[in-house]
A = this chain, B = another copy of it.
Amino acid sequence: MPKKQSITPVSDFGEFKLIKYLTENIKLKHKTTIKGVGDDAAVIEPSDKKIVVTTDMLLEGVHFDLTYVPLKHLGYKAVVVNLSDVYAMNAIPKHITVSLGVSSKFSVEALKDLYDGIYLACDVYNVDLIGGDTCSSLTGLSISVTAIGEVDFEKLAYRSGAKVNDLICVTGDLGGAYMGLQLLEREKMVFNSDPNMKPKFDGYDYILQRQLKPEARKDVIELFEKNKIIPTSMIDISDGLSSELLHLCNQSDVSCKIYEEKVPINYVTRKLAEELNVEPLVTALNGGEDYELLFTVPIELHDKIAELHQVSIIGHISAKGEENLIITKGGTTLPIMAQGWAAFGE
């Protein structure tokens, strides 16, 4: 929660003073940023690479719950989810814009916390905040971020490039962000029924961080560059592995087969899932917000990929018309369905 030492209503500042207060200490990192915040538009120097552009909106009550999301984490996450989309093109993010709709109930100090998170993400991921819009909202908090990056044309990874026999790979582990959300929701319910109860978060740091302060896989994109790996297709995992696998297969005109035992799930995710009577695999297939990368590579790259501890090979691409399948540890074969695996698996 934001520090509550001093409370200045946003209305005391007005739009222009507020924007100045929040943006006056920006230190631009890139020489390509010709003009940042403060004019009708920002100005960027293009390179000889292609430009990628992506945008995402986060709305209070839908994407976040301010009763348990610290504003600094929220600012960080709002940037990271956009950068994740840039990395999913195998591109490097360079610039972001941030638009905020803020209710007058917000204090200037709370907004400062939100911006601290935004600036931290800018530092960690080496991007410049170059513009935005701050306006009052009659309802909840709205955050809209646009991220701009660059990539050599021949390194671009679309969703549509997967080929038969390509290896299907994911970074990191899956389902953690979803289980972190379940934990936060459970403790919120406990707190609402008895405000004297203290939330029990001990031992769950990992999944809380996965939910509240996710990271984008900058490291993996840098490893691709270093190891001369160009994925044939790539997508970031924001809606769960099932949904993203189907997007990738549909757009590539192919099918897929993956193996349950290969799907990476952290032991903390698994532990809480079992405690809450959720099948751990379901958290990976249908839980969202992991912001890991799902990608395919030619089978010739098997040994190179197998060396990367950040990456798991979970299956392979099959021909169009075959079923999209997951082979369970018990040897059962089940079709992959977006958001539908749990129901089907029962």
Residues of A that sit less than 8 Å from B by CB: 34-35, 38-57, 59-63, 85-86, 88-89, 91, 95, 97, 99-101, 130-133, 135-140, 142, 144, 146-149, 151, 153, 156, 158-160, 234-236, 251
Question: Which of A46, A63, A140, A147 has its CB near the most chain B CB atoms (within 10 A)?
Answer: A46
A208 to chain B, nearest CB (A): 24
**CB-contact partner of A63 in B135, B146, B149, under 8 A:** B135
Asked if A42 contacts B53 (CB within 8 A), the reply is yes
In the complex, chain B residues whose CB is within 8 Å of the CB of A50: 34, 43-46
What does DSSP make chain A's interface, helix, strand, loop or mixed? strand
Q: How far is the CA of A87 from the CA of B147 in the complex (A)?
A: 21
Query: Are B44 and A47 closer than 8 Å at their CB atoms?
Result: no
Q: Is the CB of A53 within 8 A of B158?
A: no
B39 touches A99 (CB 8 A): no
- 15 A-B pairs in the complex with CB atoms less than 8 angstroms apart: A38-B251, A39-B251, A40-B235, A41-B52, A41-B149, A43-B53, A43-B156, A44-B53, A57-B142, A59-B135, A59-B139, A62-B101, A62-B135, A101-B142, A138-B140
Q: When chains A and B are docked, how far (Å) is the Cα of A209 from the Cα of B251?
A: 42
Query: How far apart are the CA atoms of A142 and B147 in the complex, in Å?
Result: 19
CA distance A52 to B43 in the complex (A): 4
Within the complex, which residue of B38, B39, B63 is in contact with A89, where a contact is CB–CB below 8 Å?
B39
List chain B residues, Cβ under 8 A from A34.
Answer: 50, 153
Expressed in whole angstroms, the minimum distance between the Cβ of A148 and any Cβ of chain B is: 7
Verify A99–B57 contact, CB threshold 8 A: yes
In the bound complex, CA of A235 to CA of B16 (Å): 15
Most chain B beta carbons < 10 A, residue from A51, A140, A159, A236: A51
Chain B nearest Cβ from A58, distance in angstroms: 8
Chain B residues lying within 8 Å of A235, measured Cβ to Cβ, are 40
| Given known A62-B135, A95-B53, contact A46–B47 (CB-CB < 8 A) | yes
- Whether A53 contacts B97 in the complex (CB less than 8 A), given A43-B156, A146-B146, A156-B43, comes out as yes
A149 to chain B: which residues have CB within 8 Å?
A: 41
Contacts of A97 in B (CB 8 A): 53-55, 146
A186 CB, min distance to chain B CBs, angstroms:
21
8 Å CB contact of A59 from B52, B54, B137, B153: B137
Q: Are A101 and B54 in contact (CB under 8 A)?
A: no
Taking the closest CB of chain B, its distance from the CB of A245, in whole angstroms, is 14
Please tell me if the beta carbons of A99 and B41 are within 8 angstroms of each other in the complex: no
What CA separation (Å) do A35 and B156 show in the bound complex? 11
Q: How far is the CB of A70 from chain B (nearest CB, A)?
A: 21
Known: A57-B101, A99-B144, A139-B139. A41 touches B89 (CB 8 A): yes
